[in-house]
A and B are shown apart, each in its own frame.
Chain A
Amino acid sequence: MRTSADTAPDTRRHVATFASQLVLMLATVGVSRLDLGLRLGATVVMLLAAVNATVVAVALMGVRRDGPLVRLLVVLTLVVIIGLLVWPAWDIATRVRVF
């Protein structure tokens, strides 16, 4: 149990998290404005967004703090999601275009 003595460091942590999220958000918007082409541009933008999302998962949701079971669940879900995101798109991309 944390006591009131710990609130000061916590506020600093929260502000740091908040600030890093804002910076990442602005960077994401900024990069999207640059003319990097669709492939590279999309990759960098989504990568920055993914980092931002990871900050949420780790710093705010406490994925690491909540123990090995939760970590296992997160990893398992991520693996399953990658399949769902990749294969259907790959299917469409590798078919012969009729129109």
Chain B
Amino acid sequence: MQIPYTTEARPDTGLYNAKLGIWLFLASEVMLFAGLFSSYILLRTGAVEWPHHVLPVGMATANTALLITSSMTMVMAWEALKTNNWSRHRACLGLTVALGVIFLLIKFVEYQEHIAAGELPSRNTFFALYYTLTAVHALHIVGGLVVMLYLLGPGAKLWAEQPVQFTNRVESTGLYWHFVDFVWILLFPLLYLL
């Protein structure tokens, strides 16, 4: 007896196993960020004063644009597989990774600037939240990049042997990546604009 529905969808649910699995994982991840967002709201509600305009909006806006673009390239990477366009898939996935790396580099520069100015997490709750929220998000970016590098590297062999399963893996990774974009789109205004 094999485990069914690993690549083909179960008729009554319309899903293959990993697709449901990744959605459930995203539900739990969204709860993780909700916990952090809830902390932000609670601490800010109770705060007597709150810093304004101390974070670099320009850098963060550029980062937002980068992530939005990378979501588009990620979708294209998946759709290229569905139309059997291997080279296009590789290009789009590679581009997604590149955009993610640039995001992290800009974040690194941003952190450097604050640390140089003595603005550490221990400074006040605003900076504590800023570092923690963006760092947890950045860790999720790193996780996504690791998976994508695997799909570009050793994992790419699966395309030749089991194209449907490989396509599904790319789709699942895409779902995760869009979620990371989703969180940033909400995080960016909360920390940088309000």
Contact = CB atoms under 8 A, between A and B. Distances in A.
A4 B193 CA distance: 42
Interface string A15-37: 00110011001001100100000
B38 A25 contact: no
Interface of A is mostly: helix
B99 to A, nearest CB: 12
Interface stretch (B29-37, B110-118, B126-134, B136-144): B29-37
Contacts of B182: 53, 56-57, 61
Interface in A50-87: 50, 52-53, 56-57, 60-61, 66-67, 69-70, 73-74, 77, 80-81, 84-85
A77 B174 CA distance: 20
Interface of B is mostly: helix
Interface in B71-109: 71-72, 75-76, 79, 82-85
B124 interface: no
A61 B178 contact: yes
B190 A46 contact: yes
A69 B19 CA distance: 11
A73 B30 CA distance: 12
A14 B72 contact: yes
Contacts of A77: 27, 30-31
A31 B113 CA distance: 26
B122 interface: no
B162 interface: no
A6 B79 CA distance: 10
Given A3-B83, A14-B76, A70-B15, A56 B185 contact: yes
Interface of B: 13-15, 19-20, 23-24, 27, 30-31, 34-35, 37-38, 41-42, 45-46, 57, 61, 64-65, 68-69, 71-72, 75-76, 79, 82-85, 174-175, 178-179, 181-182, 185-186, 188-190, 193-194
Interface of A: 1-4, 6-7, 10, 14, 17-18, 21-22, 25, 28-29, 32, 38, 41-42, 45-46, 48-50, 52-53, 56-57, 60-61, 66-67, 69-70, 73-74, 77, 80-81, 84-85, 88-89, 91-93
25 contacts: A2-B79, A3-B83, A4-B83, A4-B85, A7-B79, A14-B76, A21-B71, A25-B185, A29-B193, A38-B194, A46-B189, A46-B190, A46-B194, A48-B189, A56-B71, A56-B181, A57-B178, A57-B182, A66-B15, A66-B23, A67-B15, A69-B14, A74-B27, A77-B30, A89-B42
